[in-house]
Each structure stands twice: as structure tokens, then as C-alpha cells.
Amino acid sequence: MTLEEKDLKYIWHPCSQMKDYEELPPIVIDHGKGVYLYDKNGKEYIDIVSSWWCNLLGHCNPDINRGIKEQLDRLEHVIFANFTHEGAINLCEQLSEIIPSGLKKFNFSDNGSAAVECSLKMAFQYQYQTGHPEKTRFMCLSDGYHGETIGALSVGTLDLYAKIYQPMLMNTIRIDAPDCYRCPYGKCRDCCECECFEKAEKAFEEYAAETCAMIVEPLLQGSAGMRIYPPLYLKKLRTLCDKYNVLLIADEIATGFGRTGKMFAFDHAGVSPDIMCISKGLTGGYMPMAITITTDEIYNAFYDEYSTGKAFMHSHTYSGNPLGCAAALSVLKVFREQPILENAAETAEYLHRRLTERIGSHKNVGEIRHIGLINAIELVTDKDRKTPFDSSLRIGYQIYKEALKLGLLLRPLGNVLYFNPPLIISREEIDKAIDLCAQAMSIILD
């Protein structure tokens, strides 16, 4: 029995219709280096999607490898209740120097969905313990994605993930998200006053009294097709939340650690959330780790005698895992000692320019939107009308399959192809990836 056959015998892969694997069996990866993955036959693939957006500094990065190896011989894990370790302490201290101002306290978990779940519970309990038991609901943006646990699905609004579970989910308040490509106000992303924000204002007027928190993917709605909206929207949202005593939760799981061109997406807006969730790039994609970070004000609402019942009784076995902390500390060390953000900014300009030159005029490319190194190619049947392809055609998936044959890992979001590479990608690797993407598109669309 081959490895592929054994895989299909035992493994139920995530976010997949397993019947598709009859036509496209799982690709057995043997090793990785930089932006490349290599299968068991030696074929190379450019990992242009950073293996679900988490591979921040390349596969098998020597600096991160070294940090984990050094930690491995000292301590692999320890209970994080009433115990701690130097790695976790140092990590929080170093993160404090780069996160948005006002965020002071760190609650560890082991994945992005768990961090979001933690943030929702934290916000709910905070409102209750500060005299607002009526504030029990959550606001979120349409087409949002925050993970796949029940609470996270409740504040996510993509039917692909959440529709079947509706009877299990919380009754949340959904606000129409900005859609800058198909703006109903006839504006453009770089020349508007966020007129669409009136939707949020109306929702707050009607529901703020019963709302404990608003959660957003700042500037970039990832699973919705890499939708990008202006920083002004976050500034207005911060003001609105303050006005109505609604906590603002930033889901920076996909946007943190330089993905948008700044360390965190909220940095573009110059304001801070009340709670921030980070994961993915936190450990460079090496170890499952997430952190929910909040303010002293929120933390103090839980600080009391045990008998009052105000403690935050939320835990994860692998909270503060030393190996995860070692990986995260290594990532931060790379940011401190190497000009990662500066180099990535220059590379980002090059990537967008080359994409635009190579495929921007293609008859089926409606828009190539970008922020940082992230570029999203929206495929349409009519550029003038911005008419999307029929989802049943699975155009993005067809291009994905052709790209794999050529050695490029694309993993589209519906009919949106995207580049979200490691921050260390070179111009030569960009040129190669763009060429392979163009070839795959040509096979399916021309």
C-alpha cells in the first residue's frame, strides 16, 4: 500500500470534500526549505500561501530551528496554572514592546479559534462583572471568519463554514462589511470616507445596549476572498465602541506579524482594540500557539478574592507551551536583528507591480487588490460588470490543480486566487510563482 493509499485509509483532512481526493490524491511532503516544499518524489512546490498563512519566515528556518532545539533539552511542557517558565515571561515582555498601546495582559491558548473563543468569553464576563449583565450579544461583520469552534462560528458569517450549524450558534448581530471592489456607494478603496460605515452606526443605535463586544478582522477579511478595506473604518469603529461601551476585539490571527506591511493591522489605523487575538505567524508556523491579549481594565474586573467567583475559569492544556514560546521568541529575534519588514515592504511593491504587469490585463481578472505582501486576484466573467464565475464551475479549484502540476501551491478562496508568501520570499521566487500562476490560469481560462 502506498503512502497516499494509507493516508486515505486513515486520515480525514481538514476543510476538504474527501471525494475530491479520488481525483487528486494527497501529496506526501518530505521536507521544506524557504518558500519551497518537496514531495517524496523530489518535486518542488512554491508555497505561495504560506501553508494556510502561518509560515512567516520560510520552512525550516535555521533561527527558529535553533531556538526550538535549545529549548527541547531544557523543558518540553509544564502545567501553566500556578507554574510558569522563563520563555513565557520573556515572550510577553517582548510582545509588550510591539503590540498596540494599552494591551497589557496575555492569556495563552493553542490555536486561533481557541483565542477567539477566549476573547468572547472574556468580553461577556467582563460586562457582567462591571454591572452590565444585559450586554450578552456580539456584533460582527458579514462574510467574516474567526475560526470553527462554536463561538467562533457564531461570529463568523460565511455559510460555507457555519450554515449547517445555525441551530447550535449564538444569535449575533451582523453588520454589512465593506466591499470595496463592488462598492454600493460608487467609491473606491483609496478615495472614500467609509460611507458604508453608516451600516455600523445604525446597528449600534439599535443593538448596542445589549451588545458586549464587536469582533473584526482588521483591514483584511481573509476567507471572504482577501477583501481589503481602509484603516479609517477601524478608527470610526473605535470611536463608536467607546461611545456605546462595547468592547472592540481584533482578530489579528491572520493579519499579525507583518502580513499587512506593519507589525499588526491595527497599526495602520493608529488606534488600539480592547482585546487582540494572535496566532499563525506568532510561532512562524512551527508550533500551535495563540494568545488573547487585553487591557489592565478588563483584567482588573476579574481580580478579586476567589470566593467572589470572578476568576476567568478558562484553560487549555498546552497554554504557554515552552516549545511554542521558544519558536515565538525566535521569530521576534529575527524581526529585531534582521530588516524583515523593510525588505518585505520593498518586495511587496515588486510583487504587486509584476502581478499587474503579467496578468492584470487578463480578460478574467477583475481586480488585483493588495496589502503588504498579500495580493488577491479576483476572477470574473465580465470585468466591466464585475460578474463572478458560477461557483459550481469551481474555476479557482481547477486553476489550483493545474498550478500543482506546475509546482505552485495556490489554494484559492472560491474564485479568488491569492499570494500570501513568507516574508522572506525573493524577487526571483516571485517571478517564478507569477509565471506558474499565469500558466495555470491560461490552461483553464484561455
For the chain (length 446 residues), average pLDDT per consecutive 10? 96 95 97 98 98 97 98 97 98 98 98 98 98 98 96 91 92 97 93 96 98 98 97 98 98 98 98 98 98 98 97 96 98 98 98 98 98 98 96 97 98 96 98 98 97
Give the separation between CA 156 and CA 216, rounded to whole angstroms: 10
In the chain, what are the domains?
Answer: 3-60+340-445 (3.90.1150.10), 66-337 (3.40.640.10)
Give the separation between CA 293 and CA 104, rounded to whole angstroms: 7
Amino acid at 53: W
Give the CA distances from residue 7 to residues 32, 43, 146, 262, 409, in Å, rounded to whole numbers and listed in that order: 20, 19, 29, 39, 20
Give the separation between CA 120 and CA 126, rounded to whole angstroms: 10
pLDDT for the residue 159: 84
Break the chain down into helix, strand, coil percent, rounded to 5.
Answer: 40, 20, 40
Nearby residues of 149 by Cβ (< 8 Å), 6 or more positions away: 113, 114, 116, 117
Whole-model pTM: value is 0.97
Q: Which residue has the cell 464551475?
A: 393
pLDDT for the residue 390: 96
Are the C-beta atoms of 99 and 264 separated by less than 8 Å? yes
pLDDT for the residue 109: 97
pLDDT for the residue 396: 97
Give the separation between CA 20 and CA 49, rounded to whole angstroms: 20
Q: Other C-beta atoms within 10 Å of 423: how many?
A: 26
Give the separation between CA 433 and CA 297, rounded to whole angstroms: 47
pLDDT for the residue 157: 82
Query: What is the SS3 assignment for 374?
Result: strand
pLDDT for the residue 426: 98
Are the C-beta atoms of 444 and 78 separated by less than 8 Å? no
Strand 387-388 to 374-382 pairing: antiparallel
pLDDT for the residue 108: 98
pLDDT for the residue 158: 85
Q: pLDDT for 35-50, tens place per residue?
A: 999 999 999 999 999 9
Give the separation between CA 30 and CA 50, rounded to whole angstroms: 16
